[in-house]
Amino acid sequence: MNINMTRVLAIAALGLLSALFAPAALADDDGSEGGAPSTTKEISGVVQSMPATGLIGAWMIAGKSVVTDSTTSFDQENGKLAVGASVDVKGTSQPDGSLLASKIEVETGVVIPPGPGTAGGDDDVAGELTGPIISLPASGLLGTWNVGGQTVIVVSTTALDQEKGPIVVGAIVQVKGLPDASGAIIASKIEVETVGTGDAGGSVPVPGEVEIAGLIEALPTSGLIGTWQVGGRSVIVSATTRLDAENGPFVVGASVEAKGALDATGALLADKIEITEGNGAAVPALEFWGTVVELPAGTTGLIGVWKIDDKLVNVTASTQIDTEDAPLVVGATVEVSGWLQSDGMIEASDIETRTVVGALAGQGTKAIEFFNGTLGHFFISANPAEVAALDTAGKWQRTGQSFVVGSGTSGVCRFYGMPPKGPDSHFFTADPAECQAVMTTFPAWTFEGHAFSATPALNGQCPAGTLSVHRFFNNPTTAAAINHRFTVTQQAFEQTLAMGWVHEGVVMCAKP
């Protein structure tokens, strides 16, 4: 099978999972690959829009399309369902990416002031409300605000109480004033209630706070203040945004978690952004071994474009270079970690001289195949400690299939669904482009690292004297049952075809 078609099939299969599930775990001893799978999803955030009449129809909550129908239950014990209310939604992901809600529960309601000329009851105070700040004037604080979907006018005589925190989008405020003829509140006082951090009790959830995780795709041309692109979303960083770089620098390709509130355009106004580790591109998608053919000429030292085997590698001032094992000269064997660019160039994160090709920490000499009869899943591991744990637990049984690892030219990416975010299954690929695509496109899959080394297939073919490793996909009717199998023997190949699995082609090569 053509390798490009193989990649298309595999990516399509993973895409199905990301539509059904809400980006390092070993196989668990209890028989699961990490937990009970689930297609139920839960989101929390501010109601940004809702049906014009009634509660049945299309909603927008925390940037997510939500649909309600006659089976949806509504819990308004804590307040009224209205634009600006903070809610918790439970439901099922739909093929179009929306969430079909089974229940919407109000966490913090919006106090809607009565219109002009109406008489409120004992619980109604004209011109008073509590809710999140959705928008502020473009400059300064005087002018028109949106608080929980209500227009609020701030004038020079409005008292602004910021004792509990600053006035920012997403902060919960109490507004007092009088409604004008249009229904807008002319504020006499606005008091900040919460801005996301409590006292000794620690973090307090802020209604309207949104959290996204993904790879940094673009940064401002100068400095870090400005508009970023993270996981396909615009993230706006200001001077008050807290930037936590404890786990690494903010660079394109880094994996981050951003928290804040959405503005009217859907961009995230970031309150905090931190580098994350172990769940995506904190470890580069590409890891390979090769021989240095050319180094940069002139007086630039090692910064510039290298040629390693037939690959062009761009080395920058931020590239970490380790020459502990051997001198770095033309002809040296090196291990390279980095990101494959769209033009085929490799952006290097780390380069280390090596005396052995294909050596990875925690890697044994063989990838051992196991089968779990309860799950109906196949699984491979080249980690001796993990293999021993599976043998001892007894939930997973060896199939007798295995292949040699440890002398290949590339690291094999290992992903896990990690329920409830994704499926209770693992996925492996030796193709750096496929690995990077899964990292950046499918948040249902968590990158666990490079599991072992193997040689990638070239156009679906392996070099003479090596074994072809075939990948199969079980193509289930439910995403919870997703699984892949890797075979090297004719017997296993024919057995898997007879089970009705989809052959995705030769994906890597192993020594006999």
Q: DSSP string spanning 427-476?
A: EEE--HHHHHHHHHH-TTSEEEEEEEEEEEPBTTB--TTSEEEEEEE---
**122 within a domain of the structure (yes/no):** no
Looking at the 3D structure of the chain, how many domains does it have? 5
Q: What is the reported pTM?
A: 0.50
pLDDT the model gives residue 110? 59
**409 within a domain of the structure (yes/no):** yes
SS3 state of residue 17:
helix
Nearest Cα to Cα of residue 195 among 147, 260, 128, 110:
260
| Separation between Cα atoms, residue 161 and residue 171, nearest integer Å | 12
Q: Same structural domain for residues 96 and 150?
A: no
Q: Which of 59, 77, 108 is the last residue of a domain?
A: 108
Tell me whether strands 311-315 and 346-354 are parallel, antiparallel or unpaired. parallel
| Separation between Cα atoms, residue 207 and residue 172, nearest integer Å | 7
Q: Are 422 and 20 in contact (CB under 8 A)?
A: no
**141 within a domain of the structure (yes/no):** yes
Q: Same structural domain for residues 488 and 366?
A: yes
Q: Which of 311, 329, 354 is the last residue of a domain?
A: 354
Q: Same structural domain for residues 47 and 65?
A: yes
Find the helix or strand (DSSP H, E) in which 170 lies: none
Q: Same structural domain for residues 265 and 386?
A: no
pLDDT the model gives residue 22? 36
Q: Same structural domain for residues 492 and 370?
A: yes
44: which strand partners? 88
For residue 150, what are its two tokens?
């209500």
SS3 state of residue 371:
strand
pLDDT the model gives residue 82? 79
Nearest Cα to Cα of residue 135 among 165, 170, 111, 173:
170
503: which strand partners? 472
**117 within a domain of the structure (yes/no):** no
Q: Same structural domain for residues 313 and 389?
A: no
| Separation between Cα atoms, residue 84 and residue 82, nearest integer Å | 6
For residue 343, what are its two tokens?
């033009």
**270 within a domain of the structure (yes/no):** yes
In the block, tokens 């919460």 appear at 194
pLDDT the model gives residue 128? 76
Q: Same structural domain for residues 374 and 469?
A: yes
On the CB side of 65, CA atoms within 13 Å amount to 8
Q: Same structural domain for residues 92 and 219?
A: no
Q: Same structural domain for residues 155 and 216?
A: no
Q: Same structural domain for residues 44 and 31?
A: no
pLDDT the model gives residue 77? 76
Write the CATH number for 97.
2.40.50.140
Q: What are the phi and psi torsion angles at 266 (to 5°)?
A: 95, -5
Supply angle C-alpha 236, 242, 245, rounded to 5. Answer: 105
pLDDT the model gives residue 204? 33
| Separation between Cα atoms, residue 95 and residue 74, nearest integer Å | 24
Q: Where are the alpha helices (DSSP H) in 301-448?
A: 384-393, 432-441
Q: Are 61 and 87 in contact (CB under 8 A)?
A: yes
Q: Are 417 and 442 in contact (CB under 8 A)?
A: no
Q: Which of 334, 354, 374 is the last residue of a domain?
A: 354
By CB atoms closer than 10 A (0-12, 13-18, 19+), residue 100 is middle
Write the CATH number for 226.
2.40.50
Q: Are 402 and 367 in contact (CB under 8 A)?
A: yes
Nearest Cα to Cα of residue 25 among 473, 421, 440:
421
Beta strands in 94-184 (DSSP E): 99-108, 128-135, 143-147, 150-154, 159-161, 172-179
**481 within a domain of the structure (yes/no):** yes
Q: Where are the alpha helices (DSSP H) in 203-286?
A: none
**215 within a domain of the structure (yes/no):** yes
Q: Are 423 and 482 in contact (CB under 8 A)?
A: yes
| Separation between Cα atoms, residue 303 and residue 38, nearest integer Å | 48
SS3 state of residue 3:
helix
Q: How far is CA 190 from CA 26, 144, 198, 318, in A?
A: 51, 13, 19, 47
pLDDT the model gives residue 414? 92
SS3 state of residue 39:
coil
| Separation between Cα atoms, residue 226 and residue 480, nearest integer Å | 40
Please state the separation of Cα 248 from the chain's center in Å.
Answer: 17
Q: Same structural domain for residues 470 and 489?
A: yes
**70 within a domain of the structure (yes/no):** yes
The per-residue pLDDT string of the chain (512 residues; one tens digit each, 9 = 90 and over) reads 444 445 544 555 555 554 444 333 334 434 445 433 335 788 887 777 788 777 888 888 877 889 988 788 888 777 777 777 778 899 888 877 788 989 998 887 654 443 333 333 333 345 677 777 877 887 778 888 888 778 888 887 788 887 777 787 777 888 888 777 777 888 888 988 765 433 323 333 333 467 777 667 788 988 899 999 886 678 899 988 899 888 778 887 677 888 887 765 667 888 899 886 543 444 578 899 999 999 998 756 788 999 999 999 999 888 899 998 899 999 999 999 988 887 888 989 899 999 888 888 778 899 999 999 998 999 999 999 899 999 998 889 999 999 999 888 999 999 988 775 667 899 999 998 888 888 876 766 788 888 999 999 988 999 999 999 999 999 987 777 889 999 999 999 999 999 999 999 999 999 89
Three-state SS string over 266-285 comes to CCEEEEEEEECCCCCCCCCC
Q: Same structural domain for residues 271 and 298?
A: no
Range of the domain at 255: 209-275
